[in-house]
Amino acid sequence: MKQGSGRKQPSTAVAGGSATPASKLYAEGQRTRVGEIMTRDVVTVMPDTTIEAVIELMLQRDLSRLPVTDSDGKLVGIISKTDLVSEQFNRGDTSELDSADQIRLRGISYSEGIHVHGPEALVSELMKAAAVTVDEMSWVTDAAKLMACHHLHGVPVVSHAGRVTGMLSSMDILAWLAGLA
C-alpha cells in the first residue's frame, strides 16, 4: 500500500514467485481481444438527429451514450447522458417539475427533475468529438487502461476505415471479469 494514498496497489506475485489473481487476470486480459467481449449490436445516430429522438433511444434501450456517425457509418462523435445534463445546467435550466407533473413523449414518462430539450435541438449541437476509440484487435487490458485514464465508461470500437463496429463499456469488461462474456 502506498503511504497516504488510501489505495491498495495490486501485487503481482506472492512469496515463492507464484502469480496472484490480479496478475493472472492481467495476463488473461493480454490474451483477450476487445472484439471478443464488446457489444456488437450498436445503436448509432447521425448529427442531424433530434435530441428528442436521442433521449427516447437512450431511455428505451437503457443506453448511456450513442456513437454519432456520418452517412457512410464513420464515427464523427459521441453523445452521452452527461452531455445532455451538462447542456441543461450550462444554460441555467435547473428547475424541477412539480411532483404531480409529468411529461409524456411518445409513450415514455419523464418524472420530475428530467428536462426535455426543445424538439429543434440537434445532436450536432451537443455531441463531442470521439477522441478516444479502440480497435477490435486491441487487448482488453489496454482498452481498460485507456478508459480508466480518460474516466470513460464506454468507448466506440472502430475499424481501420473509421466505421463503428461495436461499443466497449465498463459493463462489458465487468461481465468478462465475472465470466459472463
Query: pTM to 2 decimals?
Result: 0.70
Question: What CATH number does the domain located at 32-177 have?
Answer: 3.10.580.10
Helix (H, G, I), strand (E, B) or coil at 52: helix
Residue ranges covered by each domain of the chain? 32-177
pLDDT at 13 over 80: no
The mean pLDDT value of the chain amounts to 78
CA angle 106, 108, 111 (to 5 degrees): 135
Q: Which amino acid is at 19?
A: A
Q: Give the model's pLDDT for residue 11.
A: 38
Contact 45, 54 (CB under 8 A): yes
- Separation between Cα atoms, residue 95 and residue 91, nearest integer Å: 11
Any alpha helices (H) in the chain, and if so which ranges?
21-29, 34-37, 51-61, 81-90, 123-126, 140-149, 170-177
Asked which of 27-31, 42-46, 92-96, 105-109 is least confident by mean pLDDT, the reply is 105-109
Q: Which helix (H) or strand (E) holds 110?
A: strand 108-110
